[in-house]
Structure 1
Amino acid sequence: MIRKRAAGLVGLALAAGALVQAEPATAAPTEGPGFCQLSLGSTTSEGDLILRTMYGVTPPGASPSRWGGKDLLPDNQLRVASGIGTQTNADQTGESRRQYVVLGSTLNLLTYTVNGFWGEVDPATVKRTAIGGGWGDVRYLESSRFNRGTTLVRQNMYAVLGDTILRWNVVNGTSFAQKTTYAGFSAVKTMTLISQTATYDTFLASTRLGALYTIRIPLTGKPVVKVVRRSTWQGFEALVADGITCGDNTIVVGVDKETGTPYLYEFGHANGTATVIKALGKVPRTFNEVAYSRIFDDNQESAQLFGE
C-alpha cells in the first residue's frame, strides 16, 4: 500500500498547509511519480495521528496534513513510537494498523481499523495491549519484520536505552524473547531503519555531536558501524527513512523539534563516507508533534528496505 497511498496523494496541492479531514479513498494511478516519497505518521501530545506524505523533489513538497485518527492514545503519555504497519482488510474496504508505543514507562502494542484507506478510525477497534514496564527512558524504538515471499522469516524489536542498543525476537506481536544487548552507543541521539535482510538490519544513526553513522546489527555477531558524515547532523531529534519508492536510494526526513522544522534528504546506497547525500531543503511545514513514524505495508509480500 505504500506505492498506492503515496501515488494517490500526488494530485493534491504540494504546498497546502491546513489540516484537513480525510476524504473517501479513490483509485490510484497504476504508475507512481518519478521521485521518492515518504509516508509519515506524526503523533501529537494528545494522542492524535496526523498523516503527511513527503515528496523528494527540489524544493521538497508535502501533501496536505490529514487526520489519521483522534484520541488513539491518552493525553501527554507518549514518549516514543515505532513505525506504523498497515494491512489491507480482507474486504478491501479499509486497513488495519499496528504500532508499538511507549506510554509513560510501559510498552504497548496499538492496533485499530480504518474505514477506507484515508478514512475514519473505528473507535470500537482501538486497542492498546500492554507488553511490559521499564521503558520510560528509551529514546528510540523500532520493529523490523523480514519476509521472503509469503513467508515471515523474522520479527525483531529494537530500542536505545542509555549506552545500549537492545534487540528482541518478537513472536505473535507481544511476546519478546532472546534479548541481545550491544553496549557503546551512548552518543546516539536517534536512529532510523534503512535496510532489512534475512540476516541483519541496518540503521542510520545521528549522534549528539553531529556525526552520522550506519549501524548494521546482524542476527549473530557484533554490530558493524561505519561513519557516513562526521558533523552537522546534531540538530535533529527525529529521523525517519523510507526507500520503497526509491530504488537503491533512501528518502530521509530530519525533524528539529526545537524549531518544528523538517528537512528532506535523498541518500544513495549507504557506503560509509562515500555515501551520496542530496539535501532537498526545508519541507514547507511546521512540525509540532511528539513522535514521527514511517508508514509501511506490514504483510508477508511487501517490499523490504534496501538502503545499505
Structure 2
Amino acid sequence: MNRKFFAPAIMAAALLTAGGLPAAAAPATSTTVCSLRLGSVDATGGEVFQQVAATRPPTISSDGPTLPVFAAGQVRLSSSLVVKPGPVGPAVDSYVIIGSAMYHSTYRTGVDGRLDPKHPPVLTRIGGGWGTFTAFERSIRAGYTTYYGLRNDGMLFRWTSGADGVWHRAGSVPGFAGFKTMALISKTRTYDTFLMNTRAGALFTFHIPVGSPMHGMVKMVRERTWQGFESLVAEKCGVYGTLLLGIDQDTHAGYLYAVGHANGFATVIQQIGKVPVPLTDHVYFRVVPSPAVDVLNGE
C-alpha cells in the first residue's frame, strides 16, 4: 500500500483490505550488537537512564544515576531527550507535557553524571492547549527543529523552530484517530518518517516531506499484533535499519525488534526477545546523542 494520506476513510480501507506478511529473519552481524539508550520518568519525577542491547535474549543495564528533575507525577509525555557535550558538562534538554502545557526542560550534569548545582533543572513554558495530545516527538536538523504532536481526535500537527527557539505552525493532517503512539525512524534534509501503531493492531510508516503544505505517504507494515504498545522507542541499527523497543505499559513488558529498511509489507522485522526486567515507569523516550552525530535512516 502506497498512497497519499488525507482522510480517515483511507485508513479504514487499508485496515480492512490489506493482508499482512509474516515477519522474516533480519540480517545480523557477528561483530556488532546494536543498542539504544532508553530514558524514562519514574513515579518520583526522576529521569532514569538505561541501555538496552540487542543480545539474545536482550539485556538492560543502568546508564547513569537517576536525576531528580521533576515533581512526582508531574510529566505526562516527553519528547526525546538530547545530551550535548559542553566544556563544563553535558547540556540536557527535552520537551515535556505537564497538565495541559508544553515546557522546555533544561539542565546540566557534571562529570559524575549527576545534576550540576550551578545549572539546575529549569522548565520554560512554551504554551497551553496540550491536554488532549497523546504523542509528541521532535526531529533535530542543523539550524532548526521540527516538532510533531498527535491529538486524540486524530489530528497530527507540525511546528518548526530556528535558532531563536520560537515555534511556528507548519501544517496538520487528519486521519490518525486510531493511532496510539509513534517513533521517529528516519530524518533527512527533505523528510521525516515515523513508525506508528494503531489500537486495531496495525503498524504503519508515515513519510512526511518537510515542505508546505504538510502531507505525507502512509504504508502499512504489519496488519495485526501491535496494539499492545503504549510506547515505541527507536534507534539506528546497521546501514538501513532500526532497533525498536515496544513497551506495553499495562503489563510493564518490553519487546525488542530488529527492523530492516522500511518498505511496507516487505519490511523485515525480527523479534529479538523480551526485556528481562519489568518497565514500570509511566513515560518513556529516546535519549539522543549530540544532534551533530545523530543519524536515523530506517526508511
TM-score in terms of structure 1 length:
0.82
Secondary structure, aligned partner of 1:235: coil
Secondary structure, aligned partner of 2:124: strand
In structure 2, the residue matched to 1:268 is: 260
In structure 2, the residue matched to 1:176 is: 167
In structure 2, the residue matched to 1:81 is: 78
Per-residue deviation, 1:65:
6.2
Higher relative contact order (CA 8 A, sep 6+): 2
- Structure 2 residue 158 is the aligned partner of structure 1 residue 167: yes
Per-residue deviation, 1:35:
1.3
In structure 2, the residue matched to 1:109 is: 104
> Aligned runs of 1:200-279 on 2, under 5 Å?
200-220=191-211, 221-243=214-236, 245-279=237-271
Mapped partners of 1:213, 1:54: distance in 2:
24
In structure 2, the residue matched to 1:11 is: none
Mapped partners of 2:183, 2:77: distance in 1:
13
Q: 1:303 to 1:77 in 2, by over 3 A?
A: closer
**8 A contact 2:64–2:113 mirrored in 1:** no
Per-residue deviation, 1:178:
2.9
Deviations 1:2-55 (A, max 9, x none): xxxxxxxxxxxxxxxxxxxxxxxxxxxxxxx61111001011132101111110
The unaligned stretches of length 5 or more in structure 2 are 1-30
In structure 2, the residue matched to 1:185 is: 176
Deviations 1:173-228 (A, max 9, x none): 74111331110111111000000011110000000000000001112352100000
Letter in 2 for 1:155: T
Letter in 2 for 1:179: A
**8 A contact 1:37–1:246 mirrored in 2:** no
Deviations 1:109-167 (A, max 9, x none): 00000112x611124421100000010111111111123xxxx3x31011000211100
In structure 1, the residue matched to 2:41 is: 43
In structure 2, the residue matched to 1:52 is: 50
Decide which moves more: 198-207 or 162-171.
Answer: 162-171
Q: State which of 147, 152, 157 in structure 2 corresponds to 1:157.
A: 147
Q: 1:51 to 1:101 in 2, by over 3 A?
A: same
Mapped partners of 1:44, 1:108: distance in 2:
18
- Structure 2 residue 275 is the aligned partner of structure 1 residue 283: yes
Aligned length: 265
- Structure 2 residue 130 is the aligned partner of structure 1 residue 140: no
> Aligned runs of 1:93-104 on 2, under 5 Å?
94-104=89-99
The unaligned stretches of length 5 or more in structure 1 are 1-32
- Structure 2 residue 92 is the aligned partner of structure 1 residue 119: no
Mapped partners of 1:303, 1:57: distance in 2:
22
Letter in 2 for 1:256: D
Mapped partners of 1:191, 1:302: distance in 2:
22
Mapped partners of 2:102, 2:78: distance in 1:
9
Mapped partners of 1:285, 1:246: distance in 2:
26
Letter in 2 for 1:81: S
In structure 1, the residue matched to 2:19 is: none
In structure 2, the residue matched to 1:15 is: none
**8 A contact 2:80–2:138 mirrored in 1:** yes
Q: 1:43 to 1:257 in 2, by over 3 A?
A: same
**Aligned CA-pair RMSD:** 1.5
Deviations 1:84-104 (A, max 9, x none): 00100125xx31100000011
In structure 1, the residue matched to 2:189 is: 198
Per-residue deviation, 1:247:
2.5
Decide which moves more: 73-82 or 276-285.
Answer: 73-82
Mapped partners of 1:73, 1:108: distance in 2:
12
Identity %: 36
TM-score in terms of structure 2 length:
0.85
